[in-house]
Structure 1
Amino acid sequence: MRNVGQHGFVGIALVILLACSGLSWAQTGGGNVPEAYLKTLPAHPRLFASADRFAALAKQSDSVSLHLKAYILHQAETLLTAERINYPTTGFKFGPMRAVQGRILTLAMTYRLTRDNRFLSRARDELLQLAALPDWAPNHFLDVGEGALAAGVGLDWLYDDLAPADREQITQAIVKNALLPSLNVPEGNGSWVDGDFNWNQVCHGGLSIGALAIAEREPELSRQIINRAIKNLPHAGAVYAPDGAYPEGPSYWSYGTTFHVLLIDALRSALGSSYSLEQFPGFLKTADFNLQVVGPSGLDFNYSDYHVETQNEPIMLWFARENHQPDLARQEIADIQTLYRSAMTGVKSPVHENRHTSLELIWWNPALGTKATGTSPLHWTSTGVLPIAVMRSSWTDPLGTFVAIKGGTPNHSHAHMDVGSFVMEADGVRWALDLGTESYDKMRAAKLDLWNYAQTSTRWTTFRVGPDGHNILRFNGAQQLIGARATVDELPVRTGAVGNSLDLTPLYADQVATAQRTVRLQPDRSVTLDDAWTTGDKPVSVAWQWLTKAKVSRIPKGLLLQQDGQTLELLFSSSGTYQIDIDDVSQARNPQDSPNPGVSRLVVRMETPARSAANLHVQLVPGSVARQQLNQTLPHR
């Protein structure tokens, strides 16, 4: 979604990454697609796989491929009797466009593998219904990108088996409803054309795939669309530098990065070159980010505008293949097995199908094998546009301790006022929560300036988006400063403890002189959280926030959290006096807010005089660690 605030940090990041590489974009492979390329295109199918490649996929017999093919066939069979998609006549077409894309990919892939005309017939029906629409909702251009991808892949994969009149209708729909309307959107104003957010990748990716599908019919128009994508994708690619973290959060990481990968693979298969769109610093590392932000419980570090993710993640197989890194495929292979078992047994799956699952058959490399190497680090820090740190005690223990914390700025697409916020889990429970995003529909209904990231924007009055709903420090109840940014630095290992420090001073520059937050994962799986601040000429009221679904009770040195048969002690100490409040935040506070069932907010309140220093130390002791410590102190018999 468009960021109407300043784009300074990202612009600087792009300049720095190109300067530090010592190469211009043209030197790294960017530039124009030569006119001759679109006159010597491979035959259809040419998007993602050729006819020979599809034939080889039909014979691929490793267990992952067999399970994928069985699952895709099962899904295609169910689509044969599915009701027609209902496209709204006005407003957004986002959901229906994604739905038809998934249907066409599944049906067309199944037809390529089986040559069963039932799947061809239903895929044709879906394509022609899409092509017959008067428009693809250009007022919300993501819908156009989704529709262009659906029509382009369907036309390409089924080209030889569609009647000439069908091909013509689909081709003209791509031109009229996607390619030509896109030329009405100017460059240079932070729109999807040259923005630094997921819309750039989705719209350029979908449009370019549509253009590649019809390039022999519309060579100049297609070349214009593809060259514009190659020119402008660096704006979105810059945000991955240098380590792969994604500022818009895991949900939009999946969306934007998937279409980035789709564009790379489509260009490779159709034109023989990716134009180095995978070579942005940090891009090939970004699958490590996706791996790292998932805790032992299976829950993401759900910062920014996060929507609950229960789908599989097909592009992890692409990254595993691209990087020759089996670890990246581990969770996706497990999700494929879950989907397969559900399809074969009829038992409801906890994993929901991603609409791009059919492409996994193309992206899966059986030579990688399914055995993970366990080489991913237990402590991972990413700098760049979104500084973030993740610490865990184990990759294999589902009861292990996991802490993830973010820096950065509230002034970015889909960002929250959550700099310095963290999540923490241990013994299989997520004790410190991020509530994710609020419903966009509810925020629109409340007439909020939803995509305005200015300091006074009504966006920040939403509980889950503003400062009230995050695990952060507060001074005088004020907001964090929109134009500020916090860094995340990795600390030296100290007596086996790993950790990171965040300089939060810029976020609170109008409230305190300095503010620091430090988090460490100890060798015994406990965690320490240290906050320190100094005041200027005025005293400040300090609030330390922690959101949880646990039952909370007071103990002599702090709080005891209880959930799912497990416990966590929060043990506090400070240079000053403090009081602990337990706020019930389960009820909606404003018209745009959703309820947060069972959620409490723990608040430690302190008063700090002018021109003084203060701190708060919190030790987080999981029940399993406390029991182990107790056993070590008991006399042996």
Structure 2
Amino acid sequence: MRKRILLWLIAALIFSPGRKLLAQRNWLAGSTTETALASGLAHIESWRKTEKENIRQLLGRLPDTVRQTLISRSEKDLDYAWPNLPATVFLQFGQNGNRTNYQNMREARRRVLNELVIGELLERKGRFIPQIVNGVWAICEESTWAYPAHLSLQKKYSPLPYPGEDIIDLGAATTSSQLAWIWFLLKDTLAAVSPVIPGRIVYELERRIVTPYLGRDDFWWMGLHGQSVNNWNPWVNGNVLLSALLVEKEDARLTATVYKTMQSVDKFINQYPEDGGCDEGPSYWTMAGGALIRYLQWLDDATAGKVRITDRPLIGNMGRYIYKLNIGGNAFVDFADAHPETTPDITAVFTFGQACRDEDLKSFAAYFASQDGSAAGQFSHMQGNLDRFISYLQIFPEIQQATPRQPLPKTAWLPDLQVLTVRRQAGSAEGLFLAAKGGTNDESHNHNDVGNFIIYADGKPAVIDIGVGTYTRQTFSKDRYKIFTMQSAWHNLPTINGVMQRQGKDFRARNVHFSEGRSKTALSMDISGAYPEAAGVDSWIRSLTFGGDRITLREKYALKEYKQPFTLSLITPLQATVKGSDIILKSEDNSYGLKIRYDPRQFEVKIEDRKLDDPSLIHAWGSSLRRLLLISRKHDLKGGYSLVFEKG
């Protein structure tokens, strides 16, 4: 009986709602003990000395033009007036859901402080020290380093932070590594002004980060009680690890902190599928897989290679995911909470290439690094982020030697994530590009989009996923799916009997099949499982076939009942007109387009214009989008249709 109860409890834990644990790999904490780890960290002071000296040497080797450009920018901050962070602005998230106003103000403090520190590191004349002291002091005086939107991490929610309860979120973790770098690189200079200043940094790191990190195991992002975790896990743990490696003086506490990060990061790695797919989308890859590789590299370096797992195939797959989802240039497949254009963290991409011995990843990183003409140009984009600046500085000598190139594989199929990308020709954005997905409606940063697809022509958007708008309180609330960008009717999907897809782990694609031949690539699935009972659908087989110069969508359906015509949505940023049996999509400058062939006997076509008022969506798509509504003329319980997409 005891054994049966134990097995039941284990099964309940593994298969409980929302849990995404796929394997008990435990590659980090399972590879050593805390006692053995202490031996690996015994030479931390030597590592710190070497790290500091390497950074100083690399700073000295920067091209003079880069040095002067960065110092000139820092000079503009010499008279900077550090902004207040009023409680009334902090309260806006609790009052009306606005999280942007406060975050912008606090980030301005951190950006300017980073610029000043970089100026001082390059010049070493002390000109920037008074303002650096002001910036450090201002941040140390903040009531919380956490974002207003994350105060649910408090033991009891309040729209203002409770005094004496320090929580660790994305904002606190990033602030931690920023101040740790400043202490590590400038502590003697700051102590010359007053020893209280570097001491204050250590004090704040102790009370805001170390104490709650070691004292609590109930932060959901730790995953230590079986919670599903996402990008928060490697991002927060990576910043905590870095802060401990740079600052912590007590050997026992250093070991305890590092080992606990290993236990926690194992939870992130355990839930990852073998194909390395990031269900949060390419825009979050920098904070997910990208954060993980930087964590692993710090751990490897500080333990002199005693904790190293980058030879595992999964780790390489997590890195390669980012170029498999690249359409061309800065355009990426924007499933989930993603944006249509992004620049992945160059250092993370290159570090994956180094650690996993993948030249494609190195070349991919070099491509983005050279977008301003040379790899040196990237330093100006990173001046507002000290951690990114130093990390890029450390790979700069090698990335200059890499050949800039986007891999652009012809076909990439991620069987666990159930995402396909395919293009006309490997290594080129010319011609048609298709991305499609199966999956579930229980993904991290989920949209109700099982079966969705996008089409680009010559590297430009034609049939699109809108992506995500500006985050507000609603975005991560019970009302998330009232936001139109999260709804299946605003993806390239059918609305069946007037019913859209539903969110949750039970709503998923079934019978997913991928095939690739010499001339055709195909993906098919039954998406009926993504709809609730109210949709009255038995099966809805969606098949997408890529034939190089054309893409064919075929659907075959069986309904339990007919209530009203089904409607297929197709979203486009292009101008749309209907001519006979063709829907013609054209860019405003008429430089590219797409032709969609349909059967007018099967569909009535309506074109809706959707005005955009969200700043993020306007930045991505302009002032409006079009939704093509193909409304079925048939009332049959069983049927099917096809659409053909060609460059127009």
Normalised to the residue count of structure 2, the TM-score between the two structures is 0.78
Whole-Å Cα distance in 1 between the matches of residues 494 and 32 of structure 2?
Answer: 44
Match of 1:402 among 408, 427, 433: 433
Equivalent position to 2:607, from 559, 582, 594: 582
Please give the per-residue CA displacement for 1:255-310, whole angstroms capped at 9, x wherever unaligned.
Answer: 23343233223323333347446567633322322222232363222222225655
Please report how far the alpha carbon of residue 432 of structure 1 lies from its aligned counterpart in structure 2 after TM superposition.
0.9
Say yes or no: does 1:517 pair with 2:542: yes
1:8-47 mapped onto 2 (5 Å cutoff):
8=15, 14-15=21-22, 17-18=23-24, 25=27, 29=31, 31-32=33-34, 34=36, 36-37=38-39, 40-43=42-45, 46=48
Residue equivalent to 1:145: 173
Distance in structure 1 (CA, Å) of the matches to 2:71 and 2:542: 52
The aligned counterpart of 1:133 is 142
Query: How far apart in 1 are the matches of 2:509 and 2:355?
Result: 32
What is the Cα deviation at residue 422 of structure 1? Answer: 1.8
Q: Residues 498 and 549 from structure 1, CA distance in 2 versus in 1: closer, same or farther, beyond 3 angstroms?
A: same
CA separation of 1:250 and 1:312: change in aligned 2, threshold 3 A: closer
Query: Aligned ranges for residues 70-89 of structure 1 at < 5 Å?
Result: 75-80=73-78, 82-84=80-82, 86-89=84-87
**Aligned length in residues:** 589
Deviation string 1:576-632 (CA, Å, 9 cap, x unpaired) is 72222212222679xx999973311111122665652x2221111103xxxxxxxxx
1:288 maps onto 2:286 in alignment: no
Deviation at 1:231, TM superposition (A): 0.8
Change (3 A) 1:321 1:84: farther
Partner SS for 1:534: strand
Aligned partner of 1:632 in structure 2 is: none
Note the 1:535-546 alignment, pairs <5 A. 535-536=559-560, 538=562, 541-546=565-570
Say whether the 8 Å CA contact 2:407–2:427 is kept in structure 1. Answer: no
- Root-mean-square deviation (Å): 4.0
Q: Distance in 1 between matches of 2:362 and 2:57?
A: 21
1:517–1:71: structure 2 CA closer, same or farther, 3 Å change rule? farther
1:157-212, Cα deviation, whole Å (9 max, x unpaired): 33444414322111001011222234565438667765411222222222222222
- The 1:500/1:39 distance shift into structure 2, 3 A limit, reads closer
Distance 2:29 2:264 in 1: 16
Q: Could you tell me how far 1:126 is from its partner in structure 2?
A: 3.1
The one of 148, 154, 164 equivalent to 2:182 is 154
**Structure 2 residue matching 1:359: 3-state secondary structure:** helix
**Mapped partners of 1:68, 1:241: distance in 2:** 41
Partner-residue secondary structure (3-state), 1:569: strand
8 Å contact from structure 1 (residues 250, 306) kept in 2:
yes
Alignment partner, residue 479 of structure 2:
458
User: What residue in structure 1 maps to residue 398 of structure 2?
Assistant: 366
2: CA distance, partners of 1:294 / 1:528? 22
| Aligned-partner SS, 2:175 | helix
> Does the Cα contact within 8 Å between 1:379 and 1:390 map onto a contact in 2?
yes
| TM-score, normalisation: structure 1 | 0.80
Q: Is the 8 A contact 2:457 2:647 kept in 1?
A: yes
In 2, Cα distance between equivalents of 1:196 and 1:340: 39
Aligned match of 1:417:
448
- How far, CA to CA, are the matches of 1:487 and 1:66 in structure 2? 59
Distance 2:462 2:16 in 1: 32
Mapped partners of 1:131, 1:13: distance in 2: 37
- TM-superposed CA distance for 1:567, in Å, is 2.6
Identity fraction in percent = 18
Q: Name the structure 2 match of 1:201.
A: 234
**Deviation of the 1:335 alpha carbon:** 3.8
Instruction: Give the corresponding residue for 1:627.
Output: none
| 1:553-595: CA deviation from partner (whole Å, max 9, x where unpaired) | 1122221111131231100249x72222212222679xx9999
Which structure carries more relative contact order (alpha carbon 8 Å, separation 6+)? 1
C-alpha separation in 1, matches of 2:280 and 2:496: 26
**C-alpha contact 1:544 1:603 (8 A) present in aligned 2:** yes
- Compute the displacement of 1:547 (Å): 0.6
Which deviates the most, 289-298 or 536-545?
A: 536-545
Matching of residue 440 in structure 1 with residue 465 in structure 2: no
- Cα separation, 1, equivalents of 2:635 and 2:77: 67
Structure 1 unmatched runs, 5+: 1-5, 624-637
Shift of 1:150: 0.9
1:282-321 equivalences under 5 Å are: 282-296=314-328, 298-307=330-339, 310-311=342-343, 313-314=345-346, 315-321=348-354
Aligned to 2:8: none
Structure 2 equivalent of residue 626 of structure 1: none
Tell me by how many angstroms 1:413 deviates.
2.7
- Post-superposition Cα deviations, 1:74-114, rounded to whole Å, max 9, x if no partner, equal 65455555543544554576545655555555555565555
Change (3 A) 1:86 1:271: farther
Assess if the C-alpha contact under 8 Å between 2:29 and 2:259 holds in 1: no
Letter in 1 for 2:239: G
Q: 1:188 to 1:334 in 2, by over 3 A?
A: closer
